[in-house]
Amino acid sequence: MPPALKAKPGQTLDGRFLLGEEIGHGGMSTIFKALDLQNPGETVVVKVRLPAFSSGVGAWSMFEREEAIGRQLDHPLILKFLPLAQDKRRSYVVTEHVPGRTLADRLGEQRPLPESEALSIASQICTALDYIHEHGFVHYDLNPANVMLCPDGGIRLIDFGLAHAAETARFTLSGAPPAIGSSDYLAPEQIKRKRGRKSADIYGVGAMLYEMLTGQPPFPGDDPLAVASARLLGDPPAPRSLNPGISRQAEDIVLRALRRHPNERYASAGAMKADLEHPERIALSGLCDRLQPVTRRRRSLRIARYIAATFILPVASQVALFLLLWHHLARK
């Protein structure tokens, strides 16, 4: 099958994976339920790169990185990747098929969730993240669509398309679409395209927990750019102002995970998990009383700084250079 053609149900990849129904899609790939013909009766999930990215190396390397990272992780709360031949005719990854539904589906049925359920889900996510971080990686795309809720009450953390080594100097991806990650759950440093540290994952857990407890993301809105800008300018509303029924301890956990400065968040997923499992032991920090809401004035100041950095300073430097050159020539 030529790589340029879009994958469809009924097609077989490399003589092994028979594609079934389409169960999802993303900005760069389509996801299918499939049968592994080498292991009769075994259902798997195949994520196939879209044809629009077939000519560049960015998406290919992205899939290779996702597979390489996935195969190094072996944990009951993390989706398992299947080993594949190196001579694949097109770019795709294969994982186990996990029955259940996503956290996004659950929130579509009920929001907010009961506090005990929300804290349990967040705690399991932290368990998975702690393992990932200990192995030197960050997930970097935490959102409700990437958390599977299993029938036995457990979770699976899925989709490692943006995962990379925690020591990567700066996250860049040639060939990727301009919008990376889900804007409702991005940490401020991700928006600035700074180094992808583990603290970005802590922020992602905090954003999901905020939504589970309050029924809305920290910075709701239909404009991704406005949502991204808001989290750089101020803090979200206190969770108890939206849902007075949640405990002060749960509110404190959320707000600590959502601090704008990475060093002010939990130092590790394990530390956040400890608070999630024993919220009654938390000494309240009073963060809810020190929040800085996004105001029109703060937004205007940031826009002014952006204009100054983007337009005024470059023009001023060019004028200064011209005057310096003119003065040098005039002296001759």
Q: Which residues are catalytic?
A: 141
In this structure, which amino acid lies at residue 237?
A: P
What is residue 257's three-state secondary structure? helix
Angle at 189 between CA 173 and CA 49, to 5 degrees: 25
Record the tokens describing residue 120, joined without a space. Answer: 């349990």
Record the tokens describing residue 141, joined without a space. Answer: 């795309």
CA 292, distance to chain mean position in Å, is 24
Contact (Cβ atoms closer than 8 angstroms) between residue 95 and residue 82: yes
In this structure, which amino acid lies at residue 158?
A: I
Q: How far apart are CA 156 and CA 151, in angstroms?
A: 11
Half-sphere exposure of 231 (CA within 13 A, CB side): 29
Contact (Cβ atoms closer than 8 angstroms) between residue 145 and residue 183: no
Contact (Cβ atoms closer than 8 angstroms) between residue 129 and residue 205: yes
Q: Write out the DSSP string of 35-56.
A: EETTSTT-EEEEEEE-GGGTTS
Q: How far apart are CA 29 and CA 53, in angstroms?
A: 9
Q: Quickly tell me which residue has 């009951």 as its tokens.
A: 76
Q: How far apart are CA 23 and CA 34, in angstroms?
A: 10
Angle at 74 between CA 196 and CA 119, to 5 degrees: 65
Angle at 26 between CA 149 and CA 131, to 5 degrees: 45
